[in-house]
Amino acid sequence: MAYLPNTPHLRAEMLSALGVESAEELIDRQVPGKLKFQGLLNLPAPLSEMELLEELERDAACNQPAGDMLNFLGAGVYDHFVPSAVQRIISRSEFYTSYTAYQPEASQGMLQATYEYQSLICALTGMDVANASNYDGATSLAEAAILCVSATGRRGIVLSGAVHPAYRKVVETYTKGLGSNIRTVPTPDGVTDPNTLGELLAEARSGEEPPAAVVIQHPNYFGCLEDVSAVAAKAHDAGALCVVCVNPISLGILVPPGSCGADVVVGEGQPLGSPMNYGGPLLGIFACREEHVRRMPGRIIGATTDAHGRRAYCMTLQTREQHIRRERATSNICTNEALVALAAAVYLSLMGKHGLRRVAELCLQKAHYAARRISELRGYKLAFSAPFFNEFTVETPVPASRIVSELSQEGILPGRDLSLDFAVGNNGQEVLKDARRPNFLLLVCVTERRTKAQIDRLVEALSRYQPDSG
Amino acid sequence: MLQPVTEPTIAELSAEGRVGVSLPRCDVPEAPLEELIPKEQIRTDLPLPEVSEPDVVRHFTRLSQRNVGIDTHFYPLGSCTMKYNPKVNEEIASWRAFSGLHPYQPEETVQGALRILQSLERFLCEIGGMDAASLQPAAGALGEFTGLLIIRAYHADRGESHRNLVLVPDSSHGTNPATAARCGYQVVKVASDERGRVDLGDLERHLSDHVAALMMTNPNTLGVFEDQIQEVCELAHSRGVQVYCDGANMNAVLGICRPGDMGFDVMHFNLHKTFSTPHGGGGPGSGPVAVKSHLEPYLPVPRLREEGGILRWNYNYPKSIGRVHPFYGNFAVALRAYCYIRQLGPEGLRSVSEDAVLNANYLLKLLVDGGADKGLELPYPAPCMHEFVLSAAEHKKATGVRTADIAKRLLDYGFHPPTVYFPLIVEEALMIEPTETVSKETLDAFAQALLTILDEDPGVVKNSPHTAPVSRVDEVKAARELNLRW
């Protein structure tokens, strides 16, 4: 077998050194007979490498990847251009076959790259410190809420209704052990209204669960830009911390949350140089103000010196972590998303100051062109009036589900049918103050990969649906 | 000796006006920015480096040369199963038919991917002796968290929410108690007996109707098989306690025995350990959870369900604990693990574990025979399963050389060090897991290197490494004078 280097002859030598007849004998001396599995596992017969490739090609043929379609789907995972150098670098097996740098002298490359990733994230978000990565934007957001609970000694969590619905679900699951009370700020206008938030905070403050965290997404799930400064001010007035979840590409053009009063900035890092991969692996960005550094979850890399006084790197503040602190750790995270963070570091280095700005501008211009064209169609209009970056919500003349299902058959993914997120339970009522409205909402995303001709094709396809066409 | 040079940071390579990427011109009519977003929301300063593509590629390639991986070094990091990562899996995962899938595209357009996920769930259930699985957890620790929340929901459903304790052996992974605390449980430590197994007497003392779960690893972190596991599970069940299996050490038992048959109620797998997916320098991993049927209603949503020959994501599981991932878990990692299982088949998987056990025992014998008079001891008797733990406490007493020093010195001999100072119950511990993907010749060379180090001048060992890209890294300074960014 190709992955097992010991030959029968070598095995025999080893067994003889051990004075046993077989590996099974070694196992039988430890595993009680009654526990031993009889026979063979019910799994498919082995395949050679060639047969495996052929078999997987058949499976692959049953997929129609969004990356090859006319794709206007975003909603948390984005179809951006990835420069070839990114994949080349993360395919260096010195990187991808290594593990957590428990021995820093053996892992200087990964450690330095992660230190650079942390620095780049700080530059992008305007925050003081960043960790080495979390699993994804959703768990980063949940960890941020938990940081706020621990920093304030309070348990209330206030989430904007315009936070990604799946992220809200993850926060609900993650905070089950804290006994936290999660309140949702309704966002019928597509944005978090600071006054509505203020009222809710005042109510929460006088209640049994004073707020520890106010969480918004910017740009939010509907694509709209939030008034981060106003939200942060309301949060601080109520004695809570402000968590902002970002799309890192948008920070090529938007004022960073660090300049608007955010205490913790999290986000989904997949747009920074990683393919969509059916939604995983992703990259949880996590950055915060210096004063919270000892409450940060996960690995943190620090620069130091070696015995000769040369610059060197290692994991630091490990006394926060599970392998040292056990049940008193700030989080249970161990393996995180180091290789995806490396991809982000390479991507941000290649893009640099001018490239990231350019990508953000392309996204912005193309999305606004698409939004203009679509809103000119009879029966369509922008659902919200707030400014947006590269995603926007449109009201459709017929149920969005119908548009998505019909157009996907001709190779167009027109966007996310929001009834999937808001028409279940009382989500639509809670967030949009209207349980029926989400059926007619389509969330459209335009990245720099979409050309004018492709946008025009989407507009043409959408124009076939008219208010009276059912 | 020629000292390797320090690599500057990417910021230090920056020069104004350099670009590292070429982007297309804008082909839609451009509007002034201020018309699209409010002026006060437009950033004026973006302090990212300005470097060319050759600068970036050379910089990160040089960094890679300052890193040790499985492909360059024998990497016997105990508890981490640093086995070879087959290249064909990397190839397949890179295909656009997989990497180009969006999680929200209609299910009809991703049937190939969904079939693979469904098959992998089934494979894992078969391997673990379990009834249902979820691939959502993105890593082992998240798998543990998911498993404990499932147990929490199960107890709540039965009106037993008062169960607020989780028992963990003193030899357990740090993630076990950290996860239990995260779920709102109090953690109670159970002692190990003189054979390195859970002390049944101590366990019995701690079991009560306030205990929600017992978390175990089998074989445990000492590489010792918990041969009383069935009795342990029966005892726990008799008190209404659910038993969680940390699947970190599944590489020892593939096709040999199954956690489900031992009595475990819920477990997680580490696809990046047992099923050969790359560790990525610290992730991405994948930590699927599998359960017995009584816990199935609580698994995370969405779950795959077949409707009229089409696989779909179904959210209609009212008792589910909810989501632990925004989508369906680390698909690209699951895909690699699926390929690995398909290539090995049932016989191959069994051979993997047999060779892992054989390699570990052979290396253990070399080190115990050769190290006995050098202060290297085996605190719990042989044989072992897929890994073993030695103590260098006597060697330290005799020479002043600590386990950490031995670990660093191994780098000079071309080997990545084992896990050290874990599990916590062994003084000056060296936790060694060779895996099945290493030859006898490498094991011989590693043993010889380790034994040679025990005879070396203590000064040489204490000041090692001498040939790594850096000498001993000052971790105390790193924590005292925090420098976390440029």
pLDDT digit string, tens, across residues A403-416: 999 999 999 999 99
Tell whether B160 and B227 lie within a shared domain: yes
Q: Looking at beta carbons, which residues of chain A come within 8 Å of B330?
A: 277, 280-282
* CATH classification code of A70-78+353-463: 3.90.1150.10
Nearest to A113 by CA among B11, B197, B260, B48: B11
Q: State how far the alpha carbon of B214 is from the alpha carbons of A23, B223, B239, B241, B259, in Å.
A: 31, 19, 11, 7, 14
* Average pLDDT of chain A, as a whole number: 96
Q: State how far the alpha carbon of B265 is from the alpha carbons of A16, B43, B150, B230, B293, in Å.
A: 39, 53, 10, 12, 9
CATH number of residue B387's parent domain:
3.90.1150.10
Residue showing tokens 């197994």: B197
Nearest to A299 by CA among A77, A73, A134, A105: A134
**Cβ–Cβ gap A279/B82 under 8 Å:** no
Tell me how close the Cα of A354 comes to any Cα of chain B, in angstroms: 7
Tell whether B338 and B294 lie within a shared domain: yes
Q: Encoding tokens for residue B113?
A: 């991917």
Between CA B212 and CA B210 the distance in angstroms is 6
pLDDT tens digit at each of 486 positions of chain B: 444 579 999 999 999 999 999 999 999 999 999 999 999 999 999 999 999 999 999 999 999 999 999 999 999 999 999 999 999 999 999 999 999 999 999 999 999 999 999 999 999 999 999 999 999 999 999 999 999 999 999 999 999 999 999 999 999 999 999 999 999 999 999 999 999 999 999 999 999 999 999 999 999 999 999 999 999 999 999 999 999 999 999 999 999 999 999 999 999 999 999 999 999 999 999 999 999 999 999 999 999 999 999 999 999 999 999 999 999 999 999 999 999 999 999 999 999 999 999 999 999 999 999 999 999 999 998 899 999 999 999 999 999 999 999 999 999 999 999 999 999 999 999 999 999 999 999 999 999 999 999 999 999 999 999 999 999 999 999 999 999 999
Tell whether B47 and B105 lie within a shared domain: no
Chain B's closest residue to A4, CA to CA, is: B437
Q: State how far the alpha carbon of A284 is from the alpha carbons of A162, B162, B246, in Å.
A: 19, 34, 24
Tell whether B325 and B427 lie within a shared domain: no
Give the range of the structural domain holding residue B18, as residue numbers without chain letter. Answer: 10-65
Tell whether B407 and B367 lie within a shared domain: yes
Mutate to test the interface with B, among A98, A365, A382, A448 (most CBs of B within 10 A): A98
Tell whether B381 and B266 lie within a shared domain: no
**Cβ–Cβ gap B46/A357 under 8 Å:** yes
Task: For residue B71, give the DSSP letter.
Answer: T
pLDDT bin (cut points 50, 70, 90) of residue A319 is confident
Residue B16 lies in a domain: yes
Nearest to A415 by CA among A386, A387, A450: A450
Query: What does the domain layout of chain A look like in residue ranges?
Result: 70-78+353-463, 105-345
* CATH classification code of A105-345: 3.40.640.10
**Cβ–Cβ gap B362/A14 under 8 Å:** yes
Q: Tell me which of B343, B378, B408 is where a domain ends.
A: B343
CATH number of residue B161's parent domain:
3.40.640.10
pLDDT exceeds 80 at position A206: no
pLDDT exceeds 60 at position A469: no
Listed by number, the residues of chain B in 293-312 with a beta carbon closer than 8 Å to a beta carbon of chain A are: 300
Q: Encoding tokens for residue A318?
A: 């490990």
Q: State how far the alpha carbon of B413 is from the alpha carbons of A399, B396, B446, in Å.
A: 67, 20, 8
Identify residue B299 by its one-letter amino acid code. L
Output the CA angle B265-B270-B273, nearest 5 degrees. Answer: 140
Domain count of the fold of chain B: 3
Q: Tell me which of B343, B368, B395 is where a domain ends.
A: B343
Q: Tell me which of B65, B97, B112 is where a domain ends.
A: B65
What is the ipTM, given to two decimal places?
Answer: 0.98
Residue B483 lies in a domain: no
Q: What percent of chain A has pLDDT over 90?
A: 89
Q: Encoding tokens for residue A88?
A: 């080349």
Residue B99 lies in a domain: yes
Of A425-429, A453-457, B33-37, B298-302, the poorest mean pLDDT is in A425-429
Residue B77 lies in a domain: no
Between CA B471 and CA B464 the distance in angstroms is 7
Tell me how close the Cα of B397 comes to any Cα of chain A, in angstroms: 23
Residue B65: count of CB within 10 angstroms of its CB: 15
Between CA A77 and CA B217 the distance in angstroms is 35
**B181 vs A275, A315, A327: nearest CB:** A327
Sign of CA dihedral A402, A404, A405, A411: positive
Q: State how far the alpha carbon of A358 is from the alpha carbons of A304, A363, B30, B309, in Å.
A: 35, 9, 13, 45
Chain A's closest residue to B140, CA to CA, is: A335
pLDDT of residue B2: 43
pLDDT exceeds 80 at position A424: no
Task: For residue B189, give the DSSP letter.
Answer: E
**Cβ–Cβ gap A110/B63 under 8 Å:** yes
Q: Distance between the two ends of chain B, CA-based, in angstroms?
A: 30
Taking residues A65-93, what's their average pLDDT? 97
Cα B92 versus chain centre, distance = 22
pLDDT of residue A377: 97
Tell whether B161 and B186 lie within a shared domain: yes
Tell whether B386 and B272 lie within a shared domain: no
pLDDT of residue A427: 80
**Cβ–Cβ gap A369/B28 under 8 Å:** yes
Listed by number, the residues of chain B in 50-69 with a beta carbon closer than 8 Å to a beta carbon of chain A are: 50-51, 53, 56-57, 59-69
Tell whether B139 and B229 lie within a shared domain: yes
pLDDT of residue B3: 47
Q: Within 13 Å, how many C-alpha atoms sit on residue B59's CB side?
A: 25
**Cβ–Cβ gap B115/A59 under 8 Å:** yes
Tell whether B359 and B282 lie within a shared domain: no
